[in-house]
Structures are given as C-alpha cells and as structure tokens.
Structure 1
Amino acid sequence: MLKKMYDWCIAAADKPYALWLMGAVSFAESSFFPIPPDVMLIPMSLARPKKAWLYALVCTVTSVAGGMVGYAIGALLYDSVGQWLIQLYGYGEKVEAFRTAYAEYGAWIILLKGLTPIPYKIVTITSGFANYNLLLFVLLSIVARGGRFFFVAVLLNRYGTWIREAIEKRLGMWVSIGAGALIVGFIIAFRLF
C-alpha cells in the first residue's frame, strides 16, 4: 500500500493538477488539516528535482495563506471553530499559557514551531486568539515556513537521486520515521504548549 501511494505521488508530479493539490494540502494544513504538505512535496521533488524550488515556493505561499486563515479562525471565530479545533487536537487547557507566552516570546514561538514538525495550525489559531501583530505574524511565517520548505528543496535538489534510491530501498522505514516525527511533533506541542 505504501509503495502504491509513493508511486502515485511520484507519477502525480507530471500531472497538471499536482501543484494545485500540493498547494491545497499546504494551505489546509496551516489552519485545520492534520497531514503536512511534505507527503507530497518530498515525492514530487524526488520525481523532478529541478522543480523542487517551485514546489517549495508553492508550499510556502499556500502555507502562509492558510496560516492567515488559521489566524482569522483564532481572532474571529475562536469561541466556536477555533476552540473546537484546539480541543480536537487536545490542547484546550493549555491555550491560556500559550497566549501568555506570546506576550513575551511570540516571534520565537512562530519561528521555532514553523520550522519543526509541531502542528503549525496550533500556532496560527493561537496567534489570532492572542491578537499577535498580523504583519509580524505573516513575515515570521514566511521566514519559518519558507525556511522549512526550502531546506527540503535544497536537500532534494542536491541529493535527490541518492535520497530517492535510499527511500525506495526502505520505503516502510522512511514512512515510519516520518510518521514518528509527526507524532513526536504533536507530543512536543502538547508538552510545550
């Protein structure tokens, strides 16, 4: 099953809708969707390493746009949608502590959590809820999300052939590592948030 999904993502890199689909996943992940865009960014960049820069740019732009939706959910709809999403991910009782931390460490929180596998939607919703400066939030999101996606693009552009061979030899192991990183990200977010 993993091999079929991987092969589909590799083959999808040549389809005209692939860029749109990856952008939609990146957009949604920043505000409500639990799966990161890396599940498409990595295979598509492996299939076409020279387009890794374009893929990273699309992920960055759509992630920041989705982050603004998450910000709006926190700022305008926290009492209904925002609170429900925070509760859904199990962070309800820690929102006030996170909001207080924003007063002092907001920029660092956005930068660090935007670069890690910690769910970015938590940062976007809470940034809106904490009324963090919107312009600063957008600028920091561009740096954090762009840094994350372009780091992947650099690696895949430079070492794509070697990485692709390594992944294809042990696909199950690499998917397990990726899933583990995502789970660890949720755990760290829960502990720090």
Structure 2
Amino acid sequence: MIRRLYDWTLSLAHHPKALWALALVAFIESSVFPIPPDLLMIPMIIATPRRAFVIAGVATVASVLGGLLGYAIGMFAFEGIGQPILESLGKSDSMEDFNARFNGVGFWAVLIAGLTPFPYKVITIMSGWTAMPLGTFLVTSIIARALRFFIIATLLWKFGEPIRDFIEKRLGLMFTLFCIVLVGGFLMVRYL
C-alpha cells in the first residue's frame, strides 16, 4: 500500500495541476499522510527549476497549515478520548508532568521534526495534545518547514539533476546530523 501511495505521489509531479497537488500532499502529510511532499517537490523542481522557490513556498505554507490541522487533532482528540481514559486509570497527573516536559523542549521537538525525516505529523499532533503554546508551535513550524523545503529547492535549482540522488538518499541523514550537532552545541553552551 505504501508503495502505491509513493508511486501515486510521484505521478502527480507531471500533472497540469501539480502545484495544487503539492499543496494538498504537503497539507495532509503534516497531519495524517505517510508520504513526504519532498517526493513531489523534487521532480517538479527538476522539471521547472525557475519555479523552485515558488514550489518551496507552496510546500511551506501548505505544510504549516496542515500542521495546524495536526495540532487541532491532538488538541481535540485528546480532550474527547485520551484524557477520560487516563483519568479512569488514575494517570492524569502523569500526563501533566509529560506535558510540562514536552513543552519545555517543544521548540526543539518541532524544529527537529520539521527538518528531519522524523514524521512531522507526530509532533504536530503531540503539540496540540500537550497544549504547546500555539505561537511557539506556529513560529517553529514556519522556520523548520521553510528551511527544509527551501534548502532542497536551492540545491536543486543550483545543481539540478545530479543532486537529486543525494537528496533522495542522504538529505534526511544530513538534516538529522545537523540537528544533533545544533542541539549538542546548545547543550554544551548551557552546561559548560
């Protein structure tokens, strides 16, 4: 099933309404869809490099708006389903502790999930579930998604087809390593 979704997503890159398809994929990927919009962006940018930054902009805006949907899912589904279950088990105090810890590092969680292959939808839903301040969530989502999509667009615009293999195979790893170094640097500054 995942392979069919992957192939369907790639086929949208050549559709006359590809920009709208990208917006839809980026939107739903941020809350429920398993295939990242990068797979649609890459062939679109390779086909029309002069539109690379428009394509990245559409992906960013749609992804952040979809993230807001994920936030709402977390906020409203938890209230109706999760919280009553935890209360019946006597675990509502544990959730308050978890929420405080998650929101204490929420900026980093959203930033890292927005940049790396970690499913962004997990963090969008958790952010709503833990009642992360909406402003923090929104600003961090904009930064993370814009960095991710505009870096990909810039690399493809500058280097074209040869960079495609690198992006498809290694960019997630590079973003992950970058985030580890970034967080490690902040921890060193804080504790040394």
Same fold by TM-score, threshold 0.5 exceeded? yes
**1:138 counterpart letter in structure 2:** L
C-alpha distance in 2 between matches for 1:52 and 1:63? 16
User: In structure 2, the residue corresponding to 1:31 is in which secondary structure?
Assistant: coil
Contact 1:82/1:125 (<8 A) preserved: no
Alignment map for 1:55-74 (pairs within 5 Å): 55-74=55-74
**2:110 counterpart letter in structure 1:** I
- Are 2:35 and 1:32 aligned? no
Assess, with a 3 A threshold, how the Cα gap between structure 1 residues 96 and 34 changes in structure 2: closer, same or farther.
farther
C-alpha distance in 1 between matches for 2:146 and 2:72? 21
User: In structure 2, the residue corresponding to 1:76 is in which secondary structure?
Assistant: helix
Contact 1:49/1:157 (<8 A) preserved: yes
Q: Name the structure 2 match of 1:11.
A: 14
**1:142 counterpart letter in structure 2:** I
Alignment map for 1:85-164 (pairs within 5 Å): 99-163=99-163
- Are 2:50 and 1:50 aligned? yes
Identity %: 42
> Any stretches of 5+ residues in structure 1 without a counterpart?
84-94, 168-172, 186-193
Contact 2:56/2:150 (<8 A) preserved: yes
Assess, with a 3 A threshold, how the Cα gap between structure 1 residues 162 and 9 changes in structure 2: closer, same or farther.
farther
Q: Name the structure 2 match of 1:22.
A: 22
**2:65 counterpart letter in structure 1:** A
Contact 1:73/1:81 (<8 A) preserved: no
Size of the aligned set, in residue pairs, is 158
User: In structure 2, the residue corresponding to 1:77 is in which secondary structure?
Assistant: helix
Contact 1:107/1:140 (<8 A) preserved: yes
**1:59 counterpart letter in structure 2:** A
Assess, with a 3 A threshold, how the Cα gap between structure 1 residues 82 and 58 changes in structure 2: closer, same or farther.
farther
> Deviation of residue 101 (structure 1)?
3.1
TM-score, normalization: structure 2?
A: 0.70
> Any stretches of 5+ residues in structure 2 without a counterpart?
84-94, 177-192
